[in-house]
Amino acid sequence: MDSDQKALRLARSCVLEIKPYEPGKPIEEVKRELGISDVVKMASNENPLGPSPKAIEAVARAVAQMHVYPDGSCYELRKALSAKLSVPGEWIVFGCGSDETIRMIAEAFVEPGDEVVFGAHTFSQYEFVTRVTGGKCVSVPMPSARLDLDAVKHAITPRTKLVFVANPNNPTGLMISRSQLTGFITTVPDHVVVVVDEAYFEYVESADYPDSINEYVKSGLNVVALRTFSKMYGLAGLRVGYGVARPDLVAVIERVRPPFNVTSLTQVAALAALEDTDHVRRSREVNAAGKRLLYSRLDAMGAEYLPTEANFLLVNANRPSREVSNQLLRMGVIVRPADIFGLDGWLRVTIGTPEQNERFLAAFAACLAR
């Protein structure tokens, strides 16, 4: 028996059901593999303007103290977020990105055999954390790529512990309205915690978008609202996300939080980014302008896409996702094939700078012409 087979026999059965996460290809990897030097990455929903200059300066000042363990309580960042969100500090839990926050929620509430409900075409971490904790995945179909909250409600049983709702949804960019989400959340049984993932909250333009912290968490409902510094704030490389919930829910999640899970440099960068409202404004403006450019040019091509409330666009390539994404790669444009989300034939494209958007549009037009 070789070492691989031995490891498989030793592994937990639920681990063998997990598909390894497939990230967007890094720029340097594409350069090495294809021997090209001019590459743009529009695959991972990163802020094309980068981080706030104030965050960069804050990290530079703090580098000399990297030998000291971080403040495990994130005191200064907690205080700043508490003021910004108008919630007590004990209502906030921090994670190493939203990924860890999602995993901590599952570890805190899901027993083996418990059910976790989520949409069929959504963020892969919901399925991942369910399998890691030995839970049962209940995947709800998404007709027209929209999450049907009535179907979600009918999927809830006495064994259901968590429901994940991404709003806006990743990878579709579609939003659930205030009336729809309120009607759902207020009828969910008391034994269920609803996790509303608002990673793209800052990009939303619709006036009908529900703010889960103000509308559900502060009302005392069984809701955890998730947000992140990875998207609008441009700190994806430093990893910090957070959840906001009633203090009794947060106290349970805190029991499984690893010590020192948010680094010192991350904390000072997030604090500085939070204060840089000009960078947030510019980032929002660039995204809104880029979205409208992409709409206009894709319409002119006759290409189908889903209108988005996030910083990415789901575009129909009308051919296998991998085939088209590989063609784009050879032209130096990295996008995300949406077959990993169960949407083969579609591409998820991050909205970039004007130059990046033009680069994608020219490459995509060339693919369609083939």
Q: What is the CATH number of the domain that holds 263?
A: 3.40.640.10
Query: Does residue 271 sit in the same domain as residue 284?
Result: no
- Nearest-angstrom CA–CA distance, 266 and 206: 31
Q: Which of 227, 248, 275 is a domain's end point?
A: 275
Q: Does residue 13 lie in a domain region?
A: no
Helix axes 27-34 and 321-330, enclosed angle (nearest 10):
80
The whole-chain average pLDDT of the chain stands at: 94
pLDDT above 90 for 265: yes
CATH code of residue 314: 3.90.1150.10
Cβ atoms of residues 321 and 337 within 8 Å? yes
58-94 tens-digit pLDDT: 999 999 999 999 999 999 999 999 999 999 999 999 9
Query: Does residue 40 sit in the same domain as residue 169?
Result: no
Q: Which of 214, 240, 275 is a domain's end point?
A: 275
User: Residue 93's domain spans which residues?
Assistant: 53-275
203-244 tens-digit pLDDT: 999 999 999 999 999 999 999 999 999 999 999 999 999 999
Query: Does residue 176 sit in the same domain as residue 69?
Result: yes
Q: Does residue 206 lie in a domain region?
A: yes
Query: Does residue 197 sit in the same domain as residue 185?
Result: yes
Q: Does residue 41 lie in a domain region?
A: yes
Mean pLDDT for the stretch of residues 304-320: 96
Write out the H or E segment, with its range, that includes residue 261: none
Query: Does residue 101 sit in the same domain as residue 146?
Result: yes
pTM: 0.93
Query: Does residue 155 sit in the same domain as residue 171?
Result: yes
Query: Does residue 268 sit in the same domain as residue 123?
Result: yes
CB 205: neighbour CB atoms within 10 A?
A: 12
313-327 tens-digit pLDDT: 999 999 999 999 999
CB 364: neighbour CB atoms within 10 A?
A: 25
How many domains does one find in the chain?
Answer: 2
